[in-house]
Amino acid sequence: MIRIVNYLRLTTANNIVHRYQNYFIGQSSTYLGESYAFAPFQAEGSLAALNGDNQQLVVLFPNIEFALRLVEEGEGNRLSELRLTTAFLNASDQITTPPLTDFYVGIGAGFSETTLELRFRSAIDSVGSQFPGRTFTRDLVGPLPLNSELMLR
C-alpha cells in the first residue's frame, strides 16, 4: 500500500499562513516543527513544458466555508504563496524518504457547486526547487539578454 501525505503551507496576500495536510484524518500532524490541521484537498497535475513555461498546479477543496476563506483572504488567490511538500510514509506513518517540496504563486481561483479550485504557477521558471541560491552577475555568466524577467545587480 502506498501512503502519501501532502503538507500545504499557504500564505495569503495579507500574510495569513494556513497549514493543512490531507492524510491524518481528523487530527493534526507536525512537520518541520509546524502543526498542520487536516483538510480534505487534492493537488493535481504539476505540468512542465519543453519550452520552459511555468509549471501549473491545481489544488482542489470541497466547496465549504474554510476553503472559501482561503480565496477571500488571498484576494481571489492572486499572488498567494504555496509551499507544497509531498512525503511517502511507511506502515507506521513515518516519513521514509526525503520529502519533495515545491514552491508556487497563486494565479486565481474557480468555483463550482461542489468544488473550489486554487490555481498556481511555479515560483521559479524552468528549474526545480533545488536551484542554487546565487545571484547572476556579468562576472559569473558573461553578457546576458535583458528583459523584464532578468535583472543584473
Q: Quick check: 84 and 102 in contact, CB under 8 A?
A: yes
In order along its 153 residues, the chain shows pLDDT tens digits of 788 999 999 998 888 899 999 999 999 999 999 999 999 999 987 655 555 566 789 999 998 888 888 888 878 888 889 999 999 998 888 888 889 998 999 999 998 889 999 999 887 655 555 556 666 666 776 666 666 555 555
The pLDDT value given to residue 52:
59
Q: How far is CA 66 from CA 30, 48, 50, 94, in A?
A: 20, 30, 37, 28
With b for 16 or more beta-carbon neighbours within 10 A and e for fewer, the 3-22 pattern comes to eebbbbbbbbeeeeebbbbb
The pLDDT value given to residue 94:
86
Would you kindly state where each structural domain of the chain is located, as residue ranges?
3-141
The pLDDT value given to residue 77:
87
The pLDDT value given to residue 31:
92
The pLDDT value given to residue 68:
85
Q: What is the bridge-based pairing of β-strands 17-21 and 34-38?
A: parallel
Tell which residue, 81, 86, 132, 137, has the closest CA to residue 106: 81
- Fold of the 3-141 domain: Thrombin, subunit H (2.40.10)
The pLDDT value given to residue 92:
87
The pLDDT value given to residue 133:
65
Burial of 109 per CB tally in 10 Å (0-12, 13-18, 19+) = buried
Q: Quick check: 13 and 24 in contact, CB under 8 A?
A: no
